[in-house]
Amino acid sequence: MERFTGRRALVTGGGRGIGEGIARRLAAEGAEVIIASRTLDVAQAVADEIGARAVQVDISDTDAARAAVLDAGPLDILVNNAGFDDPGFFGETTPDRWRRLLDTNLMGTFACTHAALPGMVEAGYGRILNVGSEAGRIGSKGNAVYAATKGALMAFSKSLARENARYGITVNTLVVGPIDTPLLDKVRASEHGPKMVAAMEAGTLLRRLGTLDEVAATAAFVLSEEASFITGENVGVSGGMGIGSA
Ligand SMILES: NC(=O)c1ccc[n+]([C@@H]2O[C@H](COP(=O)([O-])OP(=O)(O)OC[C@H]3O[C@@H](n4cnc5c(N)ncnc54)[C@H](O)[C@@H]3O)[C@@H](O)[C@H]2O)c1
């Protein structure tokens, strides 16, 4: 299937994990892909494999994020995937740690989106997908500020969907649950790792972690023409985690 032939897509944090999965899927289906990543060597290796372009940018620097998006040229598709968590009970966290989370997960997303929107408005077409988390929908013990950033992304997407529907632009949030990314191997290998992974699995109705392919397939659907009547939605890909306790 070549659902993205002729489409130019930028995926932030597309050098590994979920972003890499989405970048690979979009490229496989014909998109011209730009991977925007903090670490160029990692992104370049993936880009070389899939025939994409890699650019180095730390999106928490809003000027740099803006420049990287503008430099990519007019975009049909923007996937705001770059994000991170900094776990810890809220009482033990500090304003510096809050700020770092806000700077990447929100400010970086705002900056990339702000830079991409005018081109989409002019073209009368655009697909924006913000990669959220079930933490933003149902909360997450030990991840309060991360959850707050992901909850804010859902409100951001809905508001942008309202503002830009008239220009043929859809904006949705992918509400991701626990996914088996390479990073989880580190968790598994740690002292309490197996218990932590078991708890993640138990939090889903399907009692397992999701795969990168499952996330990429859902993202690709939402970004495709098949989803042309879907905007402002929180699209869960979390094994049912978002509907209540398992
Ligand atoms: N893995 C999961 O189970 C899970 C669950 C829910 C939500 N998510 C969300 O999915 C997204 C991707 O997560 P992942 O698990 O693939 O993580 P990851 O750490 O494997 O990948 C994140 C990518 O984003 C990049 N990145 C982070 N901060 C950046 C910055 N300031 N500028 C540019 N690039 C930056 C990293 O370099 C990395 O390439 C994140 O937004 C995360 O919050 C992941």
> Is there an atom of ligand 1 within 6 Å of 39 CB?
yes
* CATH code of the region 8-179+212-234: 3.40.50.720
Look up residue 132 and give its two tokens.
Answer: 């959220």
Average pLDDT over residues 204-223: 98
The string of DSSP codes covering 129-181 is: EEEEETHHHH--TT-HHHHHHHHHHHHHHHHHHHHHGGGTEEEEEEEE--B--
Q: How far is the CA of 133 from the centre of ligand 1 (A)?
A: 11
What does the alpha-carbon distance between residue 124 and residue 109 come to, in Å, rounded to a whole number?
21
Residue 95 main-chain phi, psi, to 5 deg: -55, -35
Mutation test residue for ligand 1: of 60, 84, 156, the one with most atoms within 8 Å of CB? 84
Q: Give the model's pLDDT for residue 97.
A: 98
Q: Give nearest CA residue, ligand 1 atom 32.
A: 58
**Mean pLDDT over all residues of the chain?**
97
In a 13 Å sphere around the CA of 114, the CA atoms on its Cβ side amount to 13
Q: How far is the CA of 105 from the centre of ligand 1 (A)?
A: 9
Pairing of strands 53-56, 77-80: unpaired
Average pLDDT over residues 167-185: 95
> Is there an atom of ligand 1 within 6 Å of 126 CB?
no
pLDDT digits (tens, 9 = 90+) for 67-97: 999 999 999 999 999 999 999 999 999 999 9
Element (H, E) at 22: helix 17-28
Q: Does the annotation count 146 as an active-site position?
A: yes
Q: Give the model's pLDDT for residue 1.
A: 65
pLDDT above 80: residue 11: yes
From the candidates 4, 23, 79, 146, which is the catalytic residue? 146
pLDDT above 90: residue 186: no
Q: Where are the domains of the chain?
A: 8-179+212-234
Rounded to 10°, the helix 212-223/17-28 angle is 50
Residue 240 main-chain phi, psi, to 5 deg: 90, 5
> Is there an atom of ligand 1 within 6 Å of 133 CB?
yes
pLDDT above 90: residue 185: no
Nearest atom, ligand 1, residue 80 CA: 41
Closest CA to 16 of 58, 44, 51, 52: 44
